[in-house]
Amino acid sequence: MAPLARAETRVAIERLLDRTSDIRINEREHGPANDRRYQYVPTYILRGLTELHLEFTPA
């Protein structure tokens, strides 16, 4: 089952990238480029973001 999920994820990401010309971090939510603010999941095992707000420009 895991190989299928990996293949599906790869295809989905490729399709997303094919359909966008620009992907950027939302400055309203995360601050300007020189002063980004992120919240992380409170764990010692993994440093994962709780949220990531992005903006897309269609291709």
Task: Count how many Cα atoms sit within 13 Å of the Cα of residue 41 in the half-sphere of its side chain.
Answer: 10
pLDDT digit string (tens) for 33-58? Answer: 999 999 999 998 989 999 999 999 99
In a domain, 49, yes or no: yes
| Beta-bridge mates of residue 41 | none
Across all residues in the chain, what is the average pLDDT?
Answer: 95
Region 2-14: mean pLDDT is 96
pLDDT at 26: 97
Residue 37 belongs to domain spanning: 21-59
**Which is nearest to 25 in space by CA: 47, 2, 1, 53?**
53
Report the number of distinct structural domains present in the chain.
1
Q: What's the predicted TM-score (pTM) here?
A: 0.73
Given a cut of 90, whether residue 6 has pLDDT beyond it is: yes
**Which is nearest to 52 in space by CA: 32, 25, 21, 23?**
25
Q: Is the distance from CB of 10 to CB of 16 less than 8 angstroms?
A: no
In a domain, 29, yes or no: yes
pLDDT at 7: 97
